[in-house]
Amino acid sequence: MRTLLCLTLTSTGLAAADDTCFLFSSFRGNGEDGLHLAWSADGLRWTALGGDKSYLKPTVGKGKLMRDPCLLYGPDGVFRLLWTTGWYDRTIGYASSPDLLTWSPQQALGVMEHEPTARNAWAPEMYYDAGTRQYLVFWATTIPGRFPQTDQTGDGGLNHRMYAITTKDFATFTPTKLFYDGGFNVIDATLAKVGERYALVVKDETKTPVRKHLRVCWGDQAAGPFGPAGPAFTPDWVEGPSVVRVGDAWIVYYDCYTKHRYGAHKTKDFVSFEDISAQLSFPRDTRHGTVLQVPRAIVDRLRQ
């Protein structure tokens, strides 16, 4: 499974403004104990918060896991969290918090319950679309037989495409629709506004032949449609992209899950990329997370 940046906010990355810093959400192991948080002043060196203990233990879904936690700091000053509730659930988890310490009751959102053969709902992501004043929520699902031309390209018969809903309040939602089909097995999408266009970073989940790398496609609106995916810009066997603005450039983080470490590429145009993985430092065993910029006072409270 992948995750998703859920929200891109103005940031400096290498030197956060005095009143802001960076926050990273992630999980450990199989996601049994829930949400882990880390903070950074420069977007490169990350320190675990709370002694690297969980800030929210998962209680919903058949799997009762919290994998791929996507954290978003909304324009209303509320944190919203989405996650994968289990390997083969048709739901995604949702909770909100004003301070990352006190949380609303957890909910299992039945985003694929209307598709009785759907095998999963992986790595949900959020993006707040300021133009429409609504949240775009998207994730990966396999529906057997829906895209037969790529049925044999994944692991164990999994053949994903990206699906989406929108909401203004996380109480009512639009019907689930197909969000991205690039003609290949795809998971772990994340979205960033680059100038007047939208870059969708996705993982090509093709195993036969092996790809398992990140690619970029473009759209004129956050909700798509998106054009053809470009060539891979990362090594194979990576997942969970997350994107943040770094001055006049961007950092794309990703989970090198077979090597048990994090990597990142830097870009100004999402066409040419520079590998900056050697500059990163993350808490041990950090898995599939998302990065966002938040008021420093929030992190200072957590550090205390």
* Residue 145: predicted pLDDT: 96
pLDDT beyond 80 at 18: no
Residue-wise pLDDT tens digits, 247-298: 789 999 999 999 999 999 999 999 999 999 999 999 999 999 999 999 999 9
pLDDT beyond 60 at 16: no
Between CA 125 and CA 57 the distance in angstroms is 19
pLDDT beyond 70 at 11: no
Between CA 182 and CA 188 the distance in angstroms is 13
Angle, vertex CA 37, rays to CA 33 and CA 38, nearest 5:
140
**Region 20-31 average pLDDT:** 96
* Residue 8: predicted pLDDT: 34
Note the pTM of the prediction, 2 decimals: 0.93
pLDDT beyond 60 at 12: no
The distance of Cα 214 from the centroid of its chain, to the nearest Å, equals 13
Measured CA distances, 224 to 77, 104, 136, 264 (Å): 27, 31, 11, 25
* Residue 246: predicted pLDDT: 76
Architecture of the domain defined by 20-303: 5 Propeller (2.115)
Residue-wise pLDDT tens digits, 180-233: 999 999 999 999 999 999 999 999 999 999 999 999 999 999 999 999 999 999
Domain ranges, ordered by start, for the chain: 20-303
**Higher pLDDT, residue 4 or 161:** 161
pLDDT beyond 90 at 155: yes
Percent of the chain with pLDDT over 90: 91
**Region 73-97 average pLDDT:** 97
* Residue 248: predicted pLDDT: 84
* Residue 17: predicted pLDDT: 54
Average pLDDT, whole number, for the chain? 93
**Region 31-47 average pLDDT:** 96
How many other CB atoms are there within 10 angstroms of residue 29's CB atom?
Answer: 10
